[in-house]
Chains A and B, each alone.
Chain A
Amino acid sequence: MTTEPLLDVQGLTMRFGGLLAVDGVDLTADRNRITALIGPNGAGKTTIFNCLTGFYRPTAGRLLLRHPTRGPIELQKLKGYGVARTGVVRTFQNIRLFPSMTVLENLLVAQHQTLMPKSVFSLAGLLNLKGWRAAEEAAVETARDWLRRLDLLAVADEAAGNLSYGMQRRVEIARAMSTNPLLLCLDEPAAGLNPRETRALADLLAGIRAEHGIGILLIEHDMGLVMDISDRIFVVDHGARIAAGTPAEIRNDARVIKAYLGEPDADDLAHAGVGAP
């Protein structure tokens, strides 16, 4: 399985007035790999995500996406919605579904980029031409596949806002995956999930990595999950990268332990999953 680099972030800097939120961070994300971005609260993780996915325009730095068909693309030069069109798709820390639309409709909105040209300025759609019908059926099948994988088939016709929190998290991942992404960026996908749901999430992410040939970039506080499934971990604190490496390396990195816990203390470390043998 190839693991060529997909995203190459160089010197990413984001300044809000006098506040330096992200200071010259370098990181990479590879195809067929899960890359985790961790750090204490307020370290700048979500800001990095917002820069990557086009919600903020970085003050400085280069975000290079190696697109398999379109060649290298500098994401920081694109408009906000343009980033998603290159295949870098994200989920949100506080879930953002279309609450009064059904789960299936949420997944169809996600396929806007493929469906829109097929509807030919809505004309083919208005006339219900064969090409359009086939495209819509294909979109429904894509949605059906993801609903099945995430065990959401039973609630496909429910309004997304009526689902439980754990289900809404899954819908958001299903929606992101229906866009057929290149790099899936998940912002705290395990937040608010119970241990069983977290384990299912870990299996799901491992499955996506194995089958879909995409990269996954993950912000997460659940160290158990991060250490379990990540191939590579980047640690940021106070807007700067303080460590990078495999889970085993990060566990024993003195700077990481210090950033998380201040003074190293055996019980706390074991509890956080950091520094465990």
Chain B
Amino acid sequence: MAAPANAPIPFPHRLRDAGIAGLVAMALAVPFLGLRTVNLDQGLVVQTNLAYVPLAGVLVFLGRLILGLLAGPLAKATAPLANWRPPASTQRLRPWGGPLLVLAAAALPFLPFANRYIIDLGTTALIYILLATGLNITVGLAGLLDLGFAAFYAIGAYTCALTTTQLHWGFWPALAAGGLASSLFAVLLSLPILRLRGDYLAIVTLGFGEITRIVILNWQSLTGGPNGVSGIARPTLFGLTFDRRAPEGGHTFSEITGIAYAPEHRLIFLYLLILALTALAAYTVARLRRLPIGRAWEALREDEIACRSLGINPTMVKVSAYATGALMGGLAGCFFAARQGFVSPESFGFMESATILAIVVLGGMGSQAGVIIAALFIVVLPELARGFADYRMLAFGLAMILIMIWKPGGLLAGRLPTIRLSTAKPKPVAEAAL
């Protein structure tokens, strides 16, 4: 974005640029505006009305010209915003950022304005944060593009659904099973695609995502096909349910605590549960980044050949990245299934994979804070814009384009080092020497 500020484009160039845009608009306007099919008595006939064509050309010409002239001042005016970096003095506060954020999020359901809708929206946002945290390991850290991440989400959800309905497991063992099953499938998937990179990897992962969905859709005897699975066990707190009446031999939360039963309790519990899962996942990733395995993920993204020359086995690094990412996807899926009480294949289509990937890319690859901001943006913004009804996807698209113009590397681009020599504890001898 520095180019327009440094070298203003001369006016004749802008004029020519706008002229070309106008001509293209006129060429497009001929079929779009100039020709119209009309249903008359003698059948469908084409009416020509070329009056709109020059109009379209002039409008686009003027619009392009004005935009071009405004681009420079606009970029200059927004430059401080685009180049904003947290001041260095906030570095000391960084370790506190995560816990404070979790505390603030935990307080949300108890705030006066919190209602069912807000808590539900928060829960959805947290599911996406957990999913994107998982995908961020594969895509952001290890640099392995995955266009079929919803497959792991689906496997986690269906594992939870089937173990609780068929095997009558409780929620907690099913949660563990969901995460592990996803991981296992990720290992199986990663074995055939280890040699692929770039576009080819993208295509195969896209295929895996679709295959998973289609298998679930068609394996009627196991998954119920398009009808899905219902009656999935609800999450419990130390065996306590959040129902009005206790199941046989069990107790409800309200019975034991003496708090009067309210249907919101379940919502708040679900919200706090996914918050805890997500916080744990984010903490784990932050720790993993500092460990040999996490550094190997990033090194693999940077240069696979250099990794091999240092004795790092790229296969193990890739498999572990896929498996760890899928583990988190599976946990999110399992939680999703238990929250809804129902799963069906249509929740796990390509749009889901694309949304999760959009969160990772928008947030800035590899950045946990970026994932949180982007997930809130993608989940909450369309909700806020509900008033605009038909135009909300338009507004959403516009917002995405603006972000890509101003922050092409994602909202929080730029990588944080995992360790600094200046803060690492020096040897006592070295300290004395200084």
B293 touches which of A98, A113, A122 (Cβ 8 Å): A122
A-side contacts of B293, CB under 8 Å:
116, 119, 122, 125
1/0 per residue A136-150: CB within 8 Å of B? 010011011001000
Minimum distance in angstroms from B94 CB to a CB of chain A: 15
What is the CA–CA distance of A17 and B427 in the complex, to the nearest angstrom?
54
With A104-B421, A125-B292 as contacts: A81 and B312 at CB distance below 8 Å = yes
Q: Which residue of A lies closest to B415 (CB)?
A: A100
B-side contacts of A39, CB under 8 Å:
none
Which of the candidate stretches B114-122, B262-270, B295-303, B328-336 sits at the interface with the other chain? B295-303
B-side contacts of A54, CB under 8 Å:
308
1/0 per residue A148-192: CB within 8 Å of B? 000001001101000000000000000100010000000000000
B-side contacts of A159, CB under 8 Å:
415
Q: Does B6 contact A (CB under 8 A)?
A: no
1/0 per residue B375-398: CB within 8 Å of A? 000000000000000000000000
Is B298's CB under 8 angstroms from A147's CB? no
A-side contacts of B54, CB under 8 Å:
none
Which of the candidate stretches A25-33, A60-68, A88-96 sits at the interface with the other chain? A88-96
Q: Does A225 contact B (CB under 8 A)?
A: no
A157 touches which of B284, B296, B314, B421 (Cβ 8 Å): B421
Is A96's CB under 8 angstroms from B417's CB? no
1/0 per residue A58-97: CB within 8 Å of B? 0000000000000000000001111111000110100011
With A84-B309, A92-B306, A109-B296 as contacts: A140 and B424 at CB distance below 8 Å = yes
Q: Does B418 contact A (CB under 8 A)?
A: yes
12 residue pairs from A and B, CB less than 8 Å apart:
A55-B305, A55-B309, A81-B312, A89-B309, A102-B417, A102-B420, A116-B293, A119-B293, A125-B292, A128-B287, A137-B424, A157-B421
CB within 8 Å of B: which of A104-132? 104-105, 108-113, 115-116, 119, 122, 125-126, 128
1/0 per residue B390-434: CB within 8 Å of A? 000000000000000000000000010111111011110010000
A-side contacts of B71, CB under 8 Å:
none
Is B306's CB under 8 angstroms from A82's CB? no
A binding-site residues for B, Cβ under 8 Å = 53-55, 79-85, 89-90, 92, 96-102, 104-105, 108-113, 115-116, 119, 122, 125-126, 128, 137, 140-141, 143-144, 147, 153, 156-157, 159, 175, 179
CB within 8 Å of A: which of B166-197? none
Task: Find the residue from A79, A80, A99, A147 having the highest chain B CB count within 10 A.
Answer: A80
Is B309's CB under 8 angstroms from A92's CB? yes
Considering the complex of A and B, which 7 residue pairs feature the smallest CB-CB distances, nearest first? A84-B311, A98-B302, A156-B421, A125-B291, A96-B306, A85-B311, A115-B292
B-side contacts of A99, CB under 8 Å:
302-303
Is A125's CB under 8 angstroms from B287's CB? yes
B binding-site residues for A, Cβ under 8 Å = 284, 287-288, 290-293, 295-296, 298-299, 302-303, 305-314, 415, 417-422, 424-427, 430
Q: Using A84-B310, A92-B309 as known contacts, list a sample of 18 further A-B pairs with CB atoms less than 8 Å apart, ordered by residue number in A.
A: A53-B309, A80-B308, A81-B311, A81-B312, A84-B311, A96-B306, A96-B309, A98-B303, A98-B306, A104-B419, A105-B418, A109-B307, A116-B293, A137-B425, A140-B419, A140-B421, A156-B421, A159-B415
Task: Find the residue from B288, B307, B424, B430 having the highest chain A CB count within 10 A.
Answer: B424
What is the CA–CA distance of A187 and B290 in the complex, to the nearest angstrom?
31
Is B421's CB under 8 angstroms from A112's CB? no
A-B residue pair count with CB separations less than 8 angstroms: 128
Is A112's CB under 8 angstroms from B303's CB? no
A-side contacts of B288, CB under 8 Å:
122, 125-126
A105 touches which of B307, B312, B417, B426 (Cβ 8 Å): B417
What is the CA–CA distance of A125 and B430 in the complex, to the nearest angstrom?
26
Minimum distance in angstroms from A261 CB to a CB of chain B: 34
What is the CA–CA distance of A82 and B298 in the complex, to the nearest angstrom?
20
A-side contacts of B312, CB under 8 Å:
81, 109, 112
Q: Which residue of B lies closest to A148 (CB)?
A: B430
Is A126's CB under 8 angstroms from B284's CB? yes
B-side contacts of A82, CB under 8 Å:
311
With A84-B310, A109-B312, A122-B293 as contacts: A100 and B302 at CB distance below 8 Å = yes
Q: Which residue of A lies closest to B284 (CB)?
A: A126
